[in-house]
């Protein structure tokens, strides 16, 4: 077995370059420190904006359905579409970074995200779906790039930075889940303004990210390259399946938990707050999950713990007395925050260098999110067919078992077997 600390082949050239970064002689230590602090803040703000476009829809899905006459199946397609676009467009990110500086791609992704969020409130149902597709495409590309940037610029703080990034994702989702309904009430119950509001933080993130474009020498392209052998690696597929299956549970919760709770008798405002509470508590394990996962000899015990908390919390929210739902939702959030942050940590830990990290990130998030997209859609189809939620509970159990099996394989202390080759 290859030990993670002693891989059988050297890291790729980009990783070596990041370890021996040339610092301009005219740049002071204080300036370098300020630049890195700004990068951390910018990464955090970018992460915050990669979930509100999704959780904001979940919070007011019933209002969107009522205004547009949407069935449960069509609503399931709406909640599935951005995740499906993650899968379709995520594999483009490594190709873009072989032609463009990653910081530029992130900036353009944020601008397209703001355009998609604002644009989906125009043109009725076609505009809603077109804007949602653009949202999913832009988020899918940006999400793939950030783990590589973290590995390149913070090679000795991977657990901390991955935790901060994951915490930002959870914070953004929680803010949108909790604030979208009050925003809707503040704008005369118009769901369109409540959705369009979340374009503003995306524009703010783009403005804060802009200074990262001023350092082309540090972030210059490494030249054309291709990563080979990744799709024949069993370990890479285990990482991918774990990412996809745990994400499928997460997006089922994002898309349908408020609706399930409303059907159980909870008010729409309280149902949105329950989801917000669950996502808010993800912040704790989003930051602590990578720390816990990197403390042992491998990540399998962390995966078992976090998945177990997720399923106990989810089934409690589905079947426990309504007055106790807040406690079960809290446990659900703690489990999902740790599961997701561990999945992202696995991408960084299982790859030997920056270029392989980007390729594995594209594979895991591309195929993984395409798989995850089936979850919310299946929930809508099952609900339309059965007019209840018991069939969805069986689906959740099957997804959990698949995530557990793949996670036990992905959590082993190994590197994926892949190689980087120069083009030309």
> Does residue 304 contact residue 255 with C-beta atoms inside 8 Å?
no
Distance CA 65, CA 115 (A): 22
Mutual angle of helices 61-68 and 124-153, in 10-degree steps: 150
What pLDDT, in 10s, does the model give residues 80-97? 788 788 878 888 887 787
pLDDT at residue number 386: 87
pLDDT at residue number 202: 96
What pLDDT, in 10s, does the model give residues 143-178? 888 888 887 888 777 778 888 888 898 888 878 878
pLDDT at residue number 224: 60
More confident site: 183 or 96:
183
Mutual angle of helices 300-319 and 325-350, in 10-degree steps: 150
Distance CA 349, CA 375 (A): 27
Q: Is 403 helix (H, G, I), strand (E, B) or coil?
A: helix
pLDDT at residue number 17: 40
Q: Cα(first)–Cα(last) distance of the chain, in Å?
A: 34
Q: Which residues contact 173 (CB under 8 A, 6 or more apart)?
A: 51, 52, 54, 55, 254, 279, 282
- CA nearest to 116, candidates 67, 76, 56: 56
pLDDT at residue number 330: 95
- What mean pLDDT is predicted for residues 127-138? 94
> How many degrees, rounded to 5, is the angle at CA 383 between CA 252 and CA 198?
40
Distance CA 256, CA 57 (A): 10
What pLDDT, in 10s, does the model give residues 208-257? 999 888 764 444 444 566 777 888 999 999 999 999 999 999 888 877 89
Kindly report the average pLDDT of the chain as a whole number.
84
pLDDT at residue number 195: 93
- What mean pLDDT is predicted for residues 101-119? 93
Distance CA 214, CA 216 (A): 6
Does 203 score more than 90 pLDDT? yes
pLDDT at residue number 225: 66
> Does residue 257 contact residue 274 with C-beta atoms inside 8 Å?
yes
Find the range with the poorest average confidence among 25-29, 224-228, 256-260, 359-363: 25-29
Does 16 score more than 50 pLDDT? no
Residue 9 burial (CB count, 10 A): 13
Q: Is 321 helix (H, G, I), strand (E, B) or coil?
A: coil
How does residue 10 score in pLDDT terms, banded at 50, 70 and 90?
A: very low
pLDDT at residue number 258: 86
Residue 389 DSSP code? S
Beta pairing partners, 272: none
> Does residue 307 contact residue 404 with C-beta atoms inside 8 Å?
yes
Residue whose pair of structure tokens reads 């561990």 in the numeric block: 342
Domains of the chain, earliest start first: 29-416 (1.20.1250.20)
Token pair of 263, please? 């059907």
What pLDDT, in 10s, does the model give residues 286-319? 888 777 777 778 899 999 999 999 999 999 999 9
Burial, 409: exposed, middle or buried (Cβ in 10 Å; 0-12, 13-18, 19+)?
middle
Residue 228 DSSP code? E
């Amino acid at each position: 077995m290859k030990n993670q600390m002693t891989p059988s082949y050297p890291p790729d050239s980009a990783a070596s370059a990041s370890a021996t970064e040339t610092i301009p002689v005219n740049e002071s230590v204080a300036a370098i420190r300020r630049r890195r602090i700004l990068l951390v803040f910018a990464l955090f703000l970018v992460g915050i904006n990669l979930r509100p476009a999704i959780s904001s829809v979940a919070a007011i899905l019933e209002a969107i359905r009522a205004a547009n006459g949407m069935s449960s199946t069509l609503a399931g397609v709406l909640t599935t579409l951005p995740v499906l676009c993650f899968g379709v467009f995520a594999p483009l990110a490594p190709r873009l970074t072989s032609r463009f500086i990653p910081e530029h791609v992130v900036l353009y992704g944020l601008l397209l995200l703001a355009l998609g969020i604002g644009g989906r409130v125009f043109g009725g149902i076609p505009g809603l779906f077109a804007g949602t597709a653009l949202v999913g495409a832009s988020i899918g590309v940006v999400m793939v790039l950030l783990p590589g940037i973290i590995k390149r610029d913070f090679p000795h703080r991977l657990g901390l930075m991955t935790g901060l990034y994951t915490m930002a994702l959870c914070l953004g989702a929680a803010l949108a889940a909790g604030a979208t309904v009050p925003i809707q009430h503040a704008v005369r119950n118009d769901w369109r303004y409540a959705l369009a509001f979340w374009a503003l933080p995306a524009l703010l993130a783009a403005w804060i990210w802009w200074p990262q474009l001023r350092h082309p020498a540090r972030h210059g392209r490494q030249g054309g390259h291709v990563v080979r052998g990744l799709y024949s690696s069993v370990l890479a597929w285990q990482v991918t399946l774990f990412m996809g299956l745990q994400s499928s549970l997460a997006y089922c919760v994002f898309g349908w938990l408020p609706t399930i709770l409303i059907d159980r008798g909870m008010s729409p405002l309280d149902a949105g707050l329950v989801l917000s509470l669950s996502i808010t508590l993800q912040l704790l394990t989003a930051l602590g999950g990578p720390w816990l996962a990197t403390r042992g000899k491998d990540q399998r015990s962390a995966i078992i713990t976090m998945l177990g908390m997720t399923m106990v919390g989810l089934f409690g929210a589905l079947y426990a007395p309504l007055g106790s739902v807040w406690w079960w939702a809290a446990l659900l959030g703690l489990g999902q925050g740790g599961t997701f942050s561990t999945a992202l940590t696995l991408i960084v830990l299982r790859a030997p260098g920056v270029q392989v990290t980007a390729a594995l990130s594209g594979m895991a998030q591309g195929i993984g999110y395409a798989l995850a997209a089936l979850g919310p859609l299946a929930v809508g189809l099952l609900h339309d067919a059965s007019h209840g939620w018991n069939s969805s509970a069986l689906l959740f159990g099957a997804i959990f078992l698949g995530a557990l099996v793949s996670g036990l394989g992905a959590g082993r202390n190994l590197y994926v077997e892949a190689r980087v080759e120069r083009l030309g």
